Amino acid sequence: MESSDTIGIISIVIQLIFLEGILSIDNAAVLGAMVSVLPRDKPVPYPPPLKFLLPFTNKYLGMQQMAALKVGLLGAYFGRALMLVLATWVIANPLLKVLGALYLVKLAFEHLSEPDQPGEETYLDEQRAARSSFWVVVLNVELADLAFSLDNVVAAVALSDQLWVVLLGVALGIVTMRFAAGIFTWMIRREPILATAAYIVVLNIGVELLLAEFYHIHFEAWQKFVISAGTIVLCVVYARVEFLHVLAPFFRWLGEGMGNLNELIDWALKPIVWVIKVIFMGLAKIFLVFYHRNKAESEDLPEGKAVLVEADEERIVAIE
The confidence score (pLDDT) of residue 140 equals: 84
pLDDT at 220: 78
What was the pLDDT predicted at 180?
73
Please give the pLDDT value at position 242: 93
What pLDDT sits at residue 305?
Answer: 46
Rounded-to-integer distance, Cα 79 and Cα 142, Å: 8
pLDDT at 75: 76
Residues of the chain with pLDDT under 50: 1, 301, 303-320
Can you give the pLDDT at residue 284? 75
Output the DSSP codes for 172-238. HHHHHHHHHHHHHHHHHHH-THHHHHHHHHHHHHHHHHHHHHHS-----HHHHHHHHHHHHHHHHHH
Dihedral sign for Cα 143, 226, 35, 238, please. negative
CA distance 65 to 45: 12
Q: Which residues contact 198 (CB under 8 A, 6 or more apart)?
A: 29, 30, 32, 33, 34, 184, 188, 232
Q: What is the pLDDT of residue 10?
A: 73
pLDDT of 258: 92
